Amino acid sequence: MKTKNFLSIFIVLALIQTGCQPQLKQCKSNLDPAVELKIDSLLARMTLEEKVGQMSQRSKHGEDGSEDIKDEVRKGNIGSFLNISELRQRNELQRIAVEESRLGIPLIFGFDVIHGYRTIFPVPLAEAASWDIDLIEKTAAIAAKEARAVGIDWTFAPMIDIARDPRWGRVVEGSGEDTYLGSLIARAKVRGYQGDDLSDPQTIAACLKHFAVYGASQAGREYHTTEVPKRVIRNVYLPPFKAGVEAGAATLMSGFNEINGIPASGNKYLLTDILRGEWGFDGFIISDWRSVKQLIYHGFAKDESHAAILGSTAGVDMEMVSRTYIENLPGLVREGKISEDVLDTAVRRILGVKFRLGLFDNPYVDPKLADTVILAPEHRLVARQMVRESIVLLKNENNVLPLHKNVKSIALIGPLADNRIDLIGTWATDAKKKDVVTVLQGLKNAVGDTCKINYALGCETTGDSIEGFAEAIEAANSSDVIVMAVGESEIHNGEACSRTNLDLPGPQKELLKEVNKTGKPIVMVLFAGRPLTIDWSLENIPAILLAWHPGVEGGYGIADVLFGDYNPAGKITVTFPRNVGQIPIYYNMKNTGRPEEEDDRFTSKYIDAPSTPLLPFGYGLSYTTFEYSNLKIENSKVSIPGTVKVSADITNTGSVAGHEVVQLYTQDIVGSVTRPVKELKDFKRIYLKPGERKTVTFDLSTCDLRFYDINMEYNVERGDFYVWIGPNSAEGLKGSFELL
Ligand code: BGC
């Protein structure tokens, strides 16, 4: 009680001082009281084994041994499955749970629906490059609709780990390096998956993952240790999770990594003190795949029984795949080594989500539903739109792009040109190759019979065979223009795909060099799930489109952009390094005591490469040009709380219409602790016809300038700030204001 009073006083004080929403939130369950009563009544009747059963999730693959799964369900030893998307099997297991287990508690079925279920959208890093938050919400909503139709109740998404190291393969799964954009996207995806009502058969439960700091794996090596100061954790890594919690995410996943010596899946500070205590999260937490058992390998737990105690008391409510809970927790409670309250609390949260999903009232899914929902034409249209919006134009010298549709011949060369699987990308378990439109198909569809397309594979993305080079050069020589479809394959990024070399894999760079010798104009369509070190290409190839792994509508969306039916407006949300030695490199770094100066050797830089990136965060071109002018700061002295009004005029100075993502950055010049050189604070995606000018105005609240200060309090500090409105993090109109 005392703590609650203290919290309330603290909240009121925070409000008076800053005028901002409080950071502390009191726990409030969003279950209605009648449901709470039902849960109480179930809990009162459950055996210890049944309680722990609810806390146990199995995979359909039966990685854990050969026991009869159905019998386990019947006994109430399993509360959830993952990886089952075969509806008959799902409904049958559900029937056993509901009709044959003692208490009839339904199962919850989880699945990694990461960028679509069957209508596969561009990978999440690509979607982020659209900066189109509404469209991102829409793709999540479609994914949810399709997934629910095959009996998936719950997705292990969104993945919202801030990632500043492109060597890490999972960069592809998130929204990049920025906390502000990442938080907006986290919120949008939760809204998209969950809608307003989780019991609606078109929605699924979201799962914020991987809590926390997984993206900071040392040296970009998968599953590696993270050592991150608490202030950086709070300022950089946690806000997207907080945004997801505020958006009402039903579940959250604890990570594989350790953070400052304590593994995420046994980390009470993160899972209970922050998540529950500070943010009021009332959903349930699932471990990552066997990450409770892995507490042993971390050197944190001495055996499985110890791991079960550490995991459950830290706050992991449900254990994924490993069996430390089911095999140890009932006995540990009987021996008095752990309180039964720990189990009751976890089960209460899990049942709460099952009730919210409506699983008690509607445990089954109608097998006919999928036919009308899966790959519906309107879903494919949204996918095509997302492909177009996620594509980033990295270079366009001599206006090689857009291509003319009346061109007589195009050489289409490269391992990604007539390829389906790699267009899908990582984490698309139930995707079907046959659903994918290849680049070759997309091009043919765009130009019809009037243009000859000379296709050649050239080489693979792996190995070192250059056997196909001759055919590729021949195709190039007999064509007017060349489209090179090169980059990473699906196997090059995603989980367990860390790389120490970020060049084009296989002999693709050599292929590019050879084809370039023909002297024909080349457009490089780059497929990737992370920044690649493409310095040679950027220097030598006249036009480059970054198409990521675009999903089922890839070929059409790419053709739309290649031929100018859509003017690209995507902007990268991760910094592209010049070489691996520059990593970590991200836009919102700190200054140093010796900021780089060209003619002073003893300043912060390298002696063998520039310290600037190859391509900065927020960068992306268009087929038109935009001019930024007339920066205005309406009130350059503002007291706290208050709002700074900043505006600029953006003019389309080219000859085609297009979208531009106008970005607002600030720098808090002097702080009680040092502050980043730039921070994204807002953006607007605008559309301008040729010659059109718009004034873009941002209302920057002093609340948006808060950070964890010298006392680890979340505050805005008085003093001088720089502000920029620009097309990316390295350019823009600069002004200043002062907070009084
Ligand atoms: C991944 C998670 C995923 C889980 C279930 C783990 O290996 O880290 O992101 O949700 O598997 O497939």
Residue pLDDT, tens place only, 43-54: 999 999 999 999
Does ligand 1 have an atom closer than 6 angstroms to the CB of 222? no
CA distance 602 to 582: 18
User: Which of 59, 60, 112 to mutate for ligand 1's pocket (most ligand atoms within 8 Å of CB)?
Assistant: 112
**Which residue shows structure tokens 């219409």?**
657
CA distance 158 to 183: 11
**Residue length of the chain:** 740
CA distance 575 to 80: 39
CA of 186 to the centre of ligand 1 (A): 18
pLDDT at residue number 62: 53
The DSSP-derived string for 226-253 is: B---HHHIIIIISHHHHHHHHTT-SEEE
pLDDT at residue number 4: 43
Nearest CA to ligand 1 atom 10: 156
Does ligand 1 have an atom closer than 6 angstroms to the CB of 137? no
CA distance 542 to 523: 7
pTM (two decimals): 0.96
Average pLDDT of span 351-376: 97
User: Which of 156, 170, 252 to mutate for ligand 1's pocket (most ligand atoms within 8 Å of CB)?
Assistant: 156
pLDDT at residue number 5: 47
Which stretches within 46-178 are classed as H helix? Answer: 48-54, 69-75, 87-95, 124-129, 133-149
Nearest CA to ligand 1 atom 2: 288
Does residue 220 contact residue 166 with C-beta atoms inside 8 Å? yes
Average pLDDT of span 110-130: 98
DSSP state of 725: E
Per-chain mean pLDDT for the chain: 95
pLDDT at 3 over 80: no
pLDDT at residue number 17: 61
pLDDT at 11 over 90: no
Does ligand 1 have an atom closer than 6 angstroms to the CB of 214? no
Nearest CA to ligand 1 atom 8: 288
pLDDT at 314 over 60: yes
Which stretches within 233-368 are classed as H helix? Answer: 239-246, 268, 295-298, 304-314, 324-334, 340-356
Task: Give residue-wise pLDDT tens across range 537-551.
Answer: 999 999 999 999 999
pLDDT at 472 over 70: yes
pLDDT at 1 over 60: no
Counting DSSP H helices and E strands in the chain, the numbers are 23, 26
Does ligand 1 have an atom closer than 6 angstroms to the CB of 156? yes
pLDDT at 524 over 70: yes
CA of 289 to the centre of ligand 1 (A): 6
Task: Give residue-wise pLDDT tens across range 422-441.
Answer: 999 999 999 999 999 999 99
Query: For residue 375, how far is the Cα from the chain centroid?
Result: 23
pLDDT at residue number 68: 81
Does ligand 1 have an atom closer than 6 angstroms to the CB of 289? yes
Burial bucket for residue 62 (CB in 10 Å: 0-12, 13-18, 19+): exposed
pLDDT confidence of 67, banded at 50, 70, 90? low
Does ligand 1 have an atom closer than 6 angstroms to the CB of 58? no
Both structure tokens of 375: 């790959």
pLDDT at 344 over 50: yes
pLDDT at 87 over 50: yes
Both structure tokens of 425: 């990308």
Burial bucket for residue 103 (CB in 10 Å: 0-12, 13-18, 19+): middle
pLDDT at residue number 482: 98
> Among 224, 255, 223, 249, which residue's Cα sits nearest to residue 237?
255
pLDDT at residue number 239: 98
Q: Count Cα atoms within 13 angstroms, Cβ side, for 311.
A: 41
pLDDT at 348 over 60: yes
Does ligand 1 have an atom closer than 6 angstroms to the CB of 161? no
pLDDT at residue number 23: 58
pLDDT at residue number 22: 65
CA of 288 to the centre of ligand 1 (A): 6
The DSSP-derived string for 387-399 is: HHHH-EEEEEGGG
- Sign (positive or negative) of CA dihedral 365, 366, 372, 374: positive
CA distance 256 to 260: 13
Task: Give residue-wise pLDDT tens across range 13-40.
Answer: 555 566 787 654 544 467 889 999 999 9
Average pLDDT of span 363-387: 97
pLDDT at residue number 667: 98
Average pLDDT of span 135-156: 98
CA distance 399 to 630: 28
| Measured torsion, CA atoms of residues 326, 328, 331, 337, in degrees rounded to the nearest 10 | -130
The DSSP-derived string for 147-174 is: HHHTT--EE---B------TTSGGGGGS
pLDDT confidence of 66, banded at 50, 70, 90? very low
pLDDT at residue number 590: 97
Residue type at 93 in one-letter notation: L
pLDDT at 459 over 60: yes
pLDDT at 123 over 50: yes
pLDDT at residue number 15: 52
User: Which of 160, 495, 497 to mutate for ligand 1's pocket (most ligand atoms within 8 Å of CB)?
Assistant: 495
SS3 384: helix
